[in-house]
């Protein structure tokens, strides 16, 4: 309404004194009329958005918006003329007719409607963005859950394969392996339900897991773990170390004559798993790269730096980024 009255002065339809007279004596009515217009347009646009969407019926929507503007403008002109005739504005009828040549109300109503359309359009866009973000989060959670389940099965399958390879060699050894494996696997089932674990928990687990291989290979296998105390509370995806250790053992010769040595240590904010290279014949290895691909996909979903692999011909290492709490 202030804009409308200002335009009246600028266009020469009214003097400043006349505008001030209207504003002073009828300001409540003026702002009330603006509030009524905005309210009507708000609910009308809400209804249009529900039943006559822009992207589906833009032609009909344009017509409806135009009809709404014209109907309200003409209603406003009629009321103003009626009040003027009965002397409520103290302005001559001929002056009022000049002021309101059915243009100013149309301009103001158009402005109101456009602003409401823009505001509600932004609200709809924000709602869609929130819905898309929610769906993306659900999709990421579902995919991450599937990766954890996949790794769980992968762990079980590989260790059952180990058991099958030693059960005919030494029954007592196989029995002890089963007992230790059942303890480790119980821990796997509990820890793999979480998205992230502390490095301290992962190290405790990997020590138990490496003991299984030490029990199996004896002098053909050795390991060393050196982790700074101040890194223990940082986070890591569960079973990451288990996969890297398992891959090292699967792809390399492990024997008394060619012992395999695995080192786990931290460097800056990364954790490195390193082993000496003595590759087995590829024909002896059944590998689908499930474990390593699983790790890469997990860290991609976590929006963290991907693991870095190095191979200098003598040693093979994988660096995992530790996640701050």
Residue 310 has pLDDT above 90, yes or no: yes
Same domain, 95 and 145: no
Would you say residue 120 lies in a domain? no
9 with 58, same domain: the answer is yes
In this prediction, residue 91 carries a pLDDT of 47
- Regarding whether 58 and 154 lie in a shared domain, the answer is no
Best CA proximity match to 244, nearest among 292, 315, 316: 292
Asked whether residue 115 is domain-assigned, the answer is: no
Residues 154 and 290 in one domain: yes
Among candidate residues 102, 121, 154, the one where a domain is terminated: 102
CATH code, domain with 236? 3.30.565.10
- Structurally, the chain folds into a number of domains equal to 2
Do residue 160 and residue 277 come from a single domain? Answer: yes
Examine residue 118 and state whether it is found in any structural domain, yes or no.
no
Contact by Cβ (8 Å): 245, 262: yes
pLDDT of residue 268: 86
- Same domain, residue pair 97 and 150: no
Residue 131 within a domain: no
Lowest mean pLDDT among 12-26, 52-66, 70-84: 12-26
Residue 78: pLDDT over 80: no
Same domain? 179 vs 84 = no
How high is the pLDDT of residue 275?
A: 95
Cα dihedral 178, 179, 180, 181 sign: positive
Tokens 């986070």 map to which residue? 235
Position 203 pLDDT exceeds 80: yes
Q: Are residues 162 and 270 in the same domain?
A: yes
Per-position DSSP letters for 85-136, written without gaps between them: HTTSS-S-HHHHHHH-SSSHHHHHHHHHHHHHHHHHHHHHHHHHHHHHHHHH
Instruction: Copy the structure tokens of residue 33.
Output: 């009329």
Residue 309 banded pLDDT, cuts 50, 70, 90? very high
Do 257 and 171 share a structural domain? yes
CA 80, CA 72: separation in Å to the nearest integer?
Answer: 12
Residues 91 and 159 placed together within one structural domain of the fold: no
Which among 77, 102, 127 is the end of a domain? 102
Asked if the structure places residue 136 within a domain, the reply is: no
Q: What is the pTM of this model?
A: 0.53
Domain of residue 88 covers 2-102
Assigned domain for 129 exists? no
DSSP structure string for 261-293? EEEEEEETTEEEEEEE--BPPGGG-----HHHH
What pLDDT shows up at residue 54? 74
- 126-174 pLDDT, tens digit per residue, is 777 776 666 566 555 555 555 555 555 556 666 666 666 677 677 777 7
Q: Which of 83, 102, 121 is the last residue of a domain?
A: 102
Strand ranges inside the chain, DSSP E? 197-198, 221-226, 235-236, 260-267, 270-276, 308-311, 315-321
């Amino acid at each position: 309404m202030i804009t409308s009255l200002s335009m009246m002065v600028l266009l020469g339809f009214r003097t400043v004194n006349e505008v001030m007279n209207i504003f002073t004596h009828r300001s409540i009515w003026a702002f009330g009329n603006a509030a009524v217009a905005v309210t009507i347009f708000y609910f009308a646009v809400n209804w249009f958005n529900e039943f006559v969407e822009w992207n589906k019926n833009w032609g009909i929507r344009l017509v409806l918006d135009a009809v709404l503007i014209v109907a309200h403008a003409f209603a406003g002109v009629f009321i103003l003329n009626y009040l003027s005739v009965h002397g409520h504005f103290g302005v001559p009828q001929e002056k009022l007719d000049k002021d309101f040549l059915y243009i100013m109300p149309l301009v103001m109503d158009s402005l109101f409607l456009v602003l409401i359309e823009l505001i509600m359009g932004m609200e709809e866009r924000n709602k869609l963005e929130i819905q898309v973000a929610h769906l993306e989060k659900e999709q990421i959670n579902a995919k991450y859950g599937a990766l954890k389940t996949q790794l769980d099965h992968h762990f079980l399958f590989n260790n059952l394969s180990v058991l099958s390879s030693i059960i005919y060699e030494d029954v007592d050894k196989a029995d002890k392996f089963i007992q230790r494996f059942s303890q480790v696997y119980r821990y796997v089932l509990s820890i793999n339900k979480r998205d992230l674990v502390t490095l301290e928990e992962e190290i405790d687990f990997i020590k138990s897991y490496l003991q299984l291989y030490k029990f199996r290979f004896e002098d053909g296998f050795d390991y060393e773990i050196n982790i700074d105390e101040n890194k223990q509370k940082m986070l890591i995806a569960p079973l990451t170390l288990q996969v890297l250790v398992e891959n090292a053992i699967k792809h390399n010769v492990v024997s008394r004559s060619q012992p395999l040595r695995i080192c786990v240590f931290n460097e800056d904010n990364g954790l490195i798993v390193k082993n000496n290279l003595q590759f087995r014949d590829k024909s002896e290895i059944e590998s689908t790269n499930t474990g390593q691909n699983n790790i890469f996909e997990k860290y991609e979903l976590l929006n963290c730096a991907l693991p870095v692999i190095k191979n200098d011909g003598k040693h093979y290492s994988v660096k995992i980024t530790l996640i701050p709490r």
